[in-house]
Amino acid sequence: MKLLSLLFLCIAMMLRAGATWSGAFEDGVAAQKDGDYANALKIFGSLAAQGDARAQYNLALMYAHERGVARDYPEALKWFHLAAAQGIASAQYNLGVMYENGLGGARNHSQALKWYRLAAAQGDADAQYNLALIYERGRDVKQDYAQARKWFQLAAARGLAQAQFNLGVMYAERRGGAQDYAGALKCYRLAAAQGLAAAQYNLGMMYANGRGVAQDHAEAVNWYRLAAERGDAYAQYNLGLMYKNGRGIAQDYVQALKWLRLAATQGITGAQYNLGLMFAEGQGVGQHDVRAYMWIDLAAESGNANAGRVRDIIGKRMTPQQVAEARKSASDCRLRNIKGCE
């Protein structure tokens, strides 16, 4: 969720209404673009006091983002209110964000809902998305998947990648309506085309499992790779398994080791377990029982059902000193939240 829109009104209105500016307001926009925030603040402040909604909105953002003035959320809230009362959708959306997150005052979910609804009714995609999340999760309203689906659809139609993804999940998981794998596939494709790693990963899963599309492991590998390269841990794990098992791509233990390690260091238990097995069996790397024990011990600690038994089997072929070293390495990894573990 965005905490505050980074678009000043000059940008927002160009996108939504194609408006032009003249006079003092245009001077304020120019000063803002030039980084002369002190002058922009002066101009917008004068116009805002005269009731100019555009200036009120820009002034609110300047207080929220420390542009030429110290950050002051209560002051930002004040000016957002004045602009929102004049129908500026972005101001209504930002009011919703501020009330939801307690910026400038106490959290107030009923006020957040009110302002999201007003902005959403004007077609603000971010407000539509946040409204959908509120209904999906039942935050201070009765959980309503049908309403969530409705608002995700509206935000998705405006091109919001996260809304496209969430709508795909609702179609796939039968939330708020009938299960629709074809619809989910379409939504994931739209979001994936915008670079959303979670959508790319879900596309990989759909191809791997033949949901809404013919099963195609090679295509699954392609989508897992795109998501994995963007840092998605589950995609890295699945891509590692595909290389390890030679599914959808030629078996390559070196590549498997690379992707499983990346997923393992992000805390994916299955990746830790499989990485440990590769060290134990010398696949793509020299056989190394200490590292094998360490990774499988980490997986066991995280609840992997087989890890404890396999760890103990490996431990029986190790010296007491090696077991102590592996346990210390695992302990050190936990203290570092698995970061930098080898």
Which residue is associated with the tokens 């993804």? 165
Cα 315 to Cα 194, 249, 280, 301, 310: the distances in Å are 47, 33, 11, 16, 9
- Asked which of 122, 145, 167 is the last residue of a domain, the reply is 122
Residue 17: CA atoms inside 13 Å, Cβ hemisphere, count? 14
Residue 200 in domain: no
Please answer whether residues 213 and 185 qualify as being in contact, where contact means their C-beta atoms are separated by less than 8 angstroms.
yes
Mean per-residue pLDDT for 19-28? 71
Residue 139 in domain: no
Nearest residue to 29 (alpha-carbon basis) of 4, 12, 51 = 12
Residue 57 in domain: yes
CATH number, position 80: 1.25.40.10
Q: State pLDDT tens for residues 241-251.
A: 999 999 999 99
Mean per-residue pLDDT for 283-293? 96
Which residue is associated with the tokens 């909105």? 57
Structural domain span for residue 316: 270-342
Residue 294 in domain: yes
Q: Which two tokens mark 322?
A: 């090696």
Q: Quick check: 263 pLDDT over 60?
A: yes
- Which residues, including other chains, have CB under 8 Å from residue 104's CB and lie 6 or more apart? 73, 74, 75, 76, 77, 98
Q: At CA 7, angle to CA 3 and CA 9, rounded to 5?
A: 120
Residues 287, 292, 295, 296: is their CA dihedral positive or negative? positive
Residue 144 in domain: no
Q: How many structural domains comprise the chain?
A: 2
Q: Quick check: 21 pLDDT over 60?
A: no
Helix spans in 34-180 (H)? 37-49, 53-65, 73-85, 89-101, 109-121, 125-137, 145-157, 161-172
Please answer whether residues 203 and 223 qualify as being in contact, where contact means their C-beta atoms are separated by less than 8 angstroms.
yes
- Asked which of 122, 150, 169 is the last residue of a domain, the reply is 122
Residue 260 in domain: no
Residue 342 in domain: yes
The DSSP string of 309-320 is HHHHHHHTTS-H
Residue 22 pLDDT grade (very low, low, confident, very high; cuts 50, 70, 90): low
Distance CA 260, CA 244 (A): 9
Residue 227 pLDDT grade (very low, low, confident, very high; cuts 50, 70, 90): very high
Taken as a whole, the chain contains a residue count of 342
- Asked which of 122, 150, 183 is the last residue of a domain, the reply is 122
Nearest residue to 126 (alpha-carbon basis) of 103, 105, 104, 96 = 96
Mean per-residue pLDDT for 303-313? 96
Q: State pLDDT tens for residues 128-156.
A: 999 999 999 998 899 999 999 999 999 99
123: left (phi over 0), alpha (psi -120 to 50) or beta: left
Q: N- to C-terminal Cα distance for the chain?
A: 34
Which DSSP symbol is given to 25?
Answer: H
Residue 87 in domain: yes
